[in-house]
Structure 1
Amino acid sequence: MDELDALRHMRTALAEEEPPDALAARIDWHPDETDGSQARATRSRPLRRRLRLPLAGAVAAALAAGAAAAAVVVSQPGDRAQGRTEPPKEGNVLLVAATNADKAPLGSYWHTRSISGQIFAVGRSAQDFYKVDSRQGNETWTGRDGKGSMFHLDMADVPLTAEDARKWRAAGAPKMARVPDPEGAVGSVFLDMGPRTMTAGPFPVSSGDLAYGLTPAKLARLPTEPKALEDALLNLRGDWHAYSAKRTKEPIRSLRGQERLRALSDVTTALLSTAPAPPKVRGAAFRMLAAQPGVRAGGRTTDPLGRAGTVISLPLKTTVPLGLYTAPKQLGTYTRELIVDPARGALLAVRDLVATPPKGSRPLPPGDDGKPRALAAKNMPDRFSRPGDLASYQAFEVAQWTDQAPPRR
């Protein structure tokens, strides 16, 4: 049974004032009693430094790609970043998540710690390569006035799985792993596999830095009924196209089909993670997502931090990894999944999976030296991937209101 489709046409208002335990019992939803996810959610993972060093011909944008990736922290060597999926549980997990999100307390600061990763293949052939998870993170405290502090977390890159770690050690455990420049320049970049740690900051945060122009004042005025919330978000203006020759700002409601759903899901992800949204707006965002056509709940899985959650699949397939800095130049197709913890009313992670591995090539604008460039499949981080493999991710290790002030270090 697909719990989202089964309850799609029900009035979600029935769940708004219903206690979480009663709702779970009514729809026969049961959390995994052995997952221990709530205990793990409060455990901090050591953060380590990651640095990319360009070789001749690589552009500075390649260094920023990992920091700007929004894809889906990630597993230590020996853990599978994508996790194992179990058979689905009965019940509408998004309505359960919405009810629990409604009950979350407010605080003086919205505190988030998120880690983004891009998966690179190190090697020369499909028969001889290993995968590396290239990671960077941010930790932010945002006050109700939109002001706050942000720290950048520069982390070490790690082999993606235990088998990748074995191949990395067999290659001599290099501290710097060389990969093609994903920006298409002639040259390479290095992934830093060293066990060093670096935290930069604090950097000031202001209302203008918040996603999609959603200042705390605007967030506080958003409707808490899902259909009204969707109508309000459809008025947000931005450059919503995955790829276009000319940047054009337009409201989401001018889009159709997958483009509209993609834009709405991007904004919804921000409301459920980094944006300092009030609890009832967050609950409405879960309900709005549940009502979108084709959104499906799958089975239980683990996110890149090893926390248990439920897969929510979005009916999107794109020629670009959603949110990736190099997205307009990619050559494969990708799908997106959310991982939700209904019991906590929390979005744990977003992950982008390979649907069709990159093939062919595409011309790029000339580089700074005026020479022509082209992006080829051999330059893609996921050039040796198979359908279903992880391409990128963003995990939200912390996303909660708190009265604790940001550190001054």
Structure 2
Amino acid sequence: MNPMDELRAARPAHLGDRPVDERTRAAELAHAMSVPRRTRRRRAAVRPVWGLAGLAAAVAAVAAVAVVVAGNAAPQPGKQAPQAGQSASATPRKVTLSARAVLLAAAEKADRQPDRTGEWWYSSSVSRHVYPAREGGYLVVDRQRNEEWTPRATGGEQWSREQRLGAEPAGEADRLAWERAGSPGEIDVVVPMKKVAPLSLPTASGKATTSHSPLVDGDKVFWLGRNVTMKDLRGLPDEPEKLKKWLLDSYDGHSTESSSVKMDSDDWLFTVSVGLIVDMPVTPQVRGAAFRMLAGLDSVKVIENVTDAEGRTGTAAALRQSDERTGVRESRLIFDEATGRALGTESVVVEPRGPQAALEPGTVSSSEAVLEAGWTDVGPKR
């Protein structure tokens, strides 16, 4: 059996400017101050995302597999029958893969996805942000659905549709505290910026609003350290080392959000690679190369059986990040191991500081769950 076959056998199954209402502006500014987020697509500035190893790395990954002997157990339905010479109670093997091996396996799955194109690159997601209520001592989750259409052809327009889904108490204890406060239909929350007006979040959902604007310079669709075209994205190198070099040509020692916040190259590569994997219109092979690049970062760990904000179970590639303003957080890319497709992202508070001081360690302060991301010939309703 060659190394790639061994890896397969060991692997477990499993995006200009436009008017913005004050509530949305306040929420986005508050979030920008509270956590370095995965930059979303915006028309005027287009967006950051980025993305090691080939056969030799796969061999190393297989070598890293640790076989753990579980307790005696009878074969379960669907399990392989005992081989000749084994008893029916032969101990099954539980295979534990290293973080590197899991990411390389996800890369292989991503490589196998079909590469069909269409007239539009479409994405749909639900974002969530946590705020402390001004009174009552409870936390509130503000939810919003986002849809975006980016044209494949140059000279067109980008479209987006947003709908507030309503705020709600973050957990059961928060719900009880909200009820004790009279179950207000609008909740005043603490915004971690002194110059932002008080923010009041309605618990009822709002109407969807649609907007559109021309492509930047007529052809720029995303930001990858520099504004790029659809042609640029479709032509990104699909070899991990070449992709890494392409991306690092735009690295200047600071974060993707602010030139005043220092960020080392591994943190930066993780941040931009997450965006690429989640919903960028790159080829499956480039997405696979981004996974392989993550596999080459020693600071990245893998967490299994993570439940995302939509209740789906996946695996997370996680990196601990910190800065003087917000403290320490764990940034996560959640993906489906069985397909290599991204489920979304989340930021978990580890050591709260500054704007996040009111949040307990372990709190998911923000998340984005991907509902759809792919090519379509069906454009937005005009």
User: Do they superpose with TM above 0.5?
Assistant: yes
| Structure possessing the higher radius of gyration over alpha carbons | 2
Q: Would you say the 8 A contact 2:159–2:212 is kept in 1?
A: yes
Q: Which residue does 1:138 correspond to in 2? A: 146
Offset at 1:181?
A: 3.1
Q: Which one-letter code corresponds to 2:248 in the other structure?
A: L
2:188 counterpart residue number: 178
1:385-408, Cα deviation, whole Å (9 max, x unpaired): 2212111122222122x3332122
How has the CA–CA distance of structure 1 residues 396 and 186 changed in structure 2, closer, same or farther, with 3 Å as cutoff?
Answer: closer
Structure 2: how far apart are the matches of 1:340 and 1:24? 17
SS of alignment partner, residue 219 of structure 1: helix
After superposition, what is the alpha-carbon deviation per residue over 1:96-119, rounded to whole angstroms, capped at 9, x for unaligned? 221221122222132211232221
Q: CA deviation at 1:281?
A: 0.5
Q: After the TM superposition, which residues 106-185 of structure 1 pair with which residues of structure 2 at under 5 Å, given as runs?
A: 106-108=116-118, 109-124=120-135, 128-145=136-153, 147=156, 149-155=158-164, 156-185=166-195
In the alignment, is the contact (CA less than 8 A) between 2:109 and 2:340 conserved in 1? yes
Q: Does 1:339 align with 2:338?
A: no
* Aligned equivalent of 1:29: 12
In 1: Cα distance, 2:314 partner to 2:117 partner: 25
Partner letter of residue 192 of structure 1?
Answer: P
Instruction: Tell me the alpha carbon deviations over residues 179-228 of structure 1, each in whole angstroms, 9 at most, x when there is no partner.
Output: 23321138522112223332323445554241222322222222211122
Unaligned runs of 5+ in 1: 1-12, 32-49, 54-59, 73-87, 248-254, 321-329, 359-376
What runs of 5+ residues in structure 2 fail to find an aligned partner? 15-19, 39-93
Three-state SS of the structure 2 residue aligned to 1:167 is helix
User: Are the aligned partners of 1:272 and 1:285 in contact in 2 as well (CA < 8 Å)?
Assistant: yes
Distance 1:307 1:331, change over 3 A: closer
Instruction: Call closer, same or farther: CA 1:403–1:390 in 2, change over 3 Å.
Output: closer
One-letter code aligned to 2:377: Q
1:78 corresponding residue in structure 2: none
- Distance in structure 2 (CA, Å) of the matches to 1:270 and 1:289: 12
Q: Deviations over 1:141-185 (max 9, x none)?
A: 223336553223131222222332332233222121112332113
Match of 1:222 in 2: 236
Name the CA distance, whole Å, in 2 between partners of 1:224 and 1:217. Answer: 14
Q: Relative to structure 1, is the Cα distance of residues 67 and 183 closer, same or farther in structure 2, using a 3 angstrom cutoff?
A: closer
Following superposition, the deviation at residue 300 of structure 1 comes to: 0.8
CA distance in 2, matches of 1:393, 1:177: 20
**Post-superposition shift, 1:309?**
0.3
Q: Deviations over 1:263-309 (max 9, x none)?
A: 11122112112321111111111111111112111221111111110
Instruction: Output the CA distance in 2 between the equivalents of 1:221 and 1:186.
Output: 41
Determine the structure 2 residue equivalent to 1:231: 245
Superposed structure 1 runs of 4+ greater than 6 Å apart: 66-70, 242-245
For 2:264, the equivalent position in structure 1 comes to 259
Equivalent residues, number: 308
Q: Secondary structure at the match of 1:353?
A: strand
Partner residue, 1:271? 276
TM-score by length of 2: 0.70
After TM superposition, the structure 1 stretch with the greater mean CA deviation from structure 2, 107-116 or 238-247, is 238-247
1:245, distance to aligned residue in structure 2 (A): 7.5
What is the aligned counterpart of 1:386 among 360, 369, 373?
A: 360
Shift of 1:14: 6.2
Give the share of equivalent positions with the same residue, in percent.
28
TM-score, normalisation: structure 1: 0.66
Q: Secondary structure at the match of 2:292?
A: helix
Rounded Cα–Cα distance in structure 1 between residues aligned with 2:25 and 2:21: 13
